[in-house]
Chains A and B, each alone.
Chain A
Amino acid sequence: MTELSNPIPSKPPRSQWLDVWDQFKSHRGALMGGILFLLIVASVYLGPLFWDIEATHIDIRARNQGPSWAHPFGTDQLGRDMMARMMAGGSTSVSVGLTAMALALFLGSFIGVLAGFFKRLDGPLMRLTDLFLALPLLPLLLVMMLLFREPLNAAFGPEQGIFILIVCAIGVTSWMPTARIVRGDVLAIKEREFVLAARSIGTSNNGLITRHILPNVLSPIMVSATLGIATAIITESSLSFLGLGFPPDFPTWGRLLFDATDYLQQHPERVFWPGMAISLTVLSVNYLGDGLRDALDPRIRGR
């Protein structure tokens, strides 16, 4: 019996995600962005549990107050607490961002995988993508808002209806970049040996896509997910800012900013808070995406 030179590996095997995490940690901006984003999400969703003033509670005697201990962000022209409104607005804005991103991601990956995997579908689906890219998006979004607001409000109630409308409108108009990237990656992966091997043992198309191809295109999908959150939040705020988003008594960050511009001369700080919240969220998400892109790319990892 000859002994193996090193029978027990000195280190436990490292999983891929541990490597990714190590690379991600070394990107300082991305780490800070991730922490900041988690903080914003936590304060927006969990904040109302600790801050028990209602966002819609009107206290007309305490209107137009500056920052104080009772109202850290001050109050607005109807005496509503700005901090509670910021939290309520944030939870709407972030929810819209996350849901619209999920919808766009699903559509984009679905169309991208179909176009990349099935040769016959490639032409028509990519023409469809080009067509959507050629549509003027912001005008079209505005038109969609104008058209479908009434019927959806009637069907689901004013808040739920407009939420569904905004999420669908943003999702339907922002899946194209994801579809293109995913298609390109699927085209490359489809020709690899492991796919051939899987096919040769009789894996069905379904199994090939879900077990072998999708996990390998996960990294571009994750990167476009983070960027998708950013664009969705900005689009929702722009719509609210143009007065075509949520109804006036239903705060979102864009809406708060829009309302505050009327009091620009007297109370400029009211513009500052929601604007800062939008910008910080988007900035943190962008940094997060930047770091993820580096961390998920095995060619950069380890440098």
Chain B
Amino acid sequence: MLTFTIRRLILSVPTLLFISLVIFLLLELAPGDPMAQVPLTVPPEVKEKMREALGLGQPAPIRFWKWLVQFFWIEPQVLVDHYFGTTFSQGDLRVISWQTRSPVMDIVIQRMPQTLWVVGTAYVVAIIIALPIGIYSAYRQYSWFDQLGTFVSMVGFSVPPFFSGVLVIVIFSVQLGWFPSIYDTTHVVDSWDGFVYQLKQMIMPVMVLALQITAQLSRFMRASMLDNLNQDYVRTARAKGLSEYVVVMVHVLRNSMIPVVTVIALGIPSIFGGAIITEQVFKVNGIGQLLIGAIQANDLPMVQTLTFIFAILIVLFNLIADVLYGILDPRIRYD
């Protein structure tokens, strides 16, 4: 198991390097010019110097190498400096955003809590809802509850977040006026009322995200339970005289959870991508909105860094899912 994990970890390094190269080369073709906003009165030689200050004007391989060094060597140093008060990164050039001329990672760190709060809550809510639905629909296969669950999850698959989001805004904030339609990220929870307000503004984005995740997870849970319910060990457990609750909730559930847990792990990075639209609808200024803004403003270092962070998340959680599968299921041996 350990050797497998180590081998996969080592293998993921060239994968990530290749992905970063693909992203870099794609952006290399971009038509945008960071100097487009600079007034025409600025003389060309000054412009040239500004370009060099942004790290442009060198051949592509050198810029790619510089970006790699900045991302993998200098940024971690900055993090260490921040926590321990050391001065490793003093004077080093960090990845600079063309929009704000400030380090990209600082902005990412600023935006991270909003995304994590909304997306994380949605994920937890979805898991809490989806698992019981999946278990019960499998236990009573083809009952009205199962049919209803199938239909609801089909709808959850089919309604895109930009429609369900707008729909809940129309219903709950335009018609009923219960919740605010825009997520206020400057809001600080310091009192009971503040907490209630925070809860109110979180309900709609969480609802929209959770609907999608619930749909997928409950289908998966149901299928996995159905696979296990007809196994011989279930008959054995019943024959031993165990109560129905113990049979389903202990014997069957534990075995059914194995694939579901890996699916949950696999879904975490895709949620960051899926949240782009939800963040846009509810004006949550999280990571997804940062990416859209950077794309529209032609801010290539920001786009590159964010896309690469998404790629790291995907590779990492793929690895975690595989390792979890091996740990949870003793029948699977990677060696």
Residues of B within 8 A of A257 (CB): 162-163, 166
Q: What's the least CB distance linking A274 to chain B, in Å?
A: 8
**Contact indicator B311/A238 (Cβ below 8 Å):** no
Assess the A271–B273 pair: CB atoms within 8 A: no
Given A138-B276, A264-B170, A275-B166: A144 in contact with B26 (beta carbons within 8 A): yes
A265 to B171, CA, bound (A): 11
Residue in contact with B273 in the complex, picked from A138, A242, A278, CB distance below 8 Å: A138
Q: How far is the CB of A269 from chain B (nearest CB, A)?
A: 9
Shortest CB–CB separation between residue A232 and chain B, in angstroms? 12
Given contacts A238-B277, A242-B280, contact A278 B160 (CB under 8 A): yes
Q: How far is the CB of B10 from chain A (nearest CB, A)?
A: 15
Flag if A142 contacts B291 (CB, 8 Å).
yes
Docked Cα-Cα span, A256 to B140, in Å, equals: 42
Within 8 A of A (CB), among B19-50: 19, 22-23, 26-27, 29-32
User: Given the complex of chains A and B, what is the CA–CA distance between A254 and B318 in angstroms?
Assistant: 31
Q: A264-B170, A268-B174 are in contact. Are A135 and B158 (CB under 8 A)?
A: no
User: B40 CB to closest chain A CB, in angstroms?
Assistant: 22
Given A241-B162, A257-B162 in contact, is the A136-B314 Cβ separation under 8 Å? yes
Alpha-carbon gap, A45 to B29, bound state (A): 37
| Residues of chain B lying within 8 A (CB to CB) of residue A279 | 155, 158-160, 163
CB distance from A79 to the nearest CB of B (A): 23
Interface residues of chain B: helix, strand, loop or mixed (majority): helix
Known: A131-B18, A146-B295, A242-B277. A283 touches B318 (CB 8 A): no
Taking a contact as CB atoms closer than 8 A, the residue among B27, B29, B163, B292 that contacts A275 in the complex is B163
Q: For the complex formed, measure the closest distance between the CB of A16 and the CB atoms of chain B, giving whole angstroms.
A: 26
Is B310 an interface position by the 8 A CB rule? yes
Q: Are A282 and B307 in touch, CB under 8 angstroms?
A: no
Listed residue (B26, B154, B160, B169) with the most chain A CB atoms within 10 angstroms of its CB? B160
B174-233 residues with Cβ-Cβ distance < 8 A to A are 174-175
- How far, in whole Å, are A147 and B300 apart by their CA atoms in the complex? 11
Tell me if B277 and A271 are in contact (CB < 8 A).
Answer: no
Whether B162 lies near A237 (C-beta < 8 A) is yes
- In the bound complex, do residue B311 and residue A150 qualify as a contact, i.e. CB atoms below 8 Å apart? no
Contacts of B311 in A (CB 8 A): 134-136
Asked whether any CB of chain B lies closer than 8 Å to the CB of A244, the reply is yes
Q: Does A286 contact B (CB under 8 A)?
A: yes
- B155, B158, B295 — which one has the most chain A CB atoms within 10 A of its CB? B158
**Nearest neighbor of B316 in chain A, beta-carbon distance:** A134
Which residues from A are CB-within-8-Å of B160? Answer: 234, 237-238, 275, 278-279, 282
Bound form: Cα–Cα A301–B106 in Å: 58
How far does the alpha carbon of A30 sit from the alpha carbon of B19 in the complex, in Å? 40
Q: Are B306 and A287 in contact (CB under 8 A)?
A: no
Query: Which residues of chain A are near B306, meaning CB under 8 Å?
Result: 139
Complex: how many Å from CA A29 to CA B223? 18
Q: Mark A97-119, 1 if CB is under 8 A from B, else 0.
A: 00000000000000000000000
The 3 closest A-B pairs by CB, nearest first: A136-B310, A275-B163, A283-B158
> Which residues in A have some Cβ–Cβ distance to B below 8 Å?
130-131, 133-140, 142-144, 146-148, 150, 230, 234, 237-238, 241-244, 254, 257-258, 261, 264-265, 268, 271-272, 275, 278-280, 282-283, 286-287, 290
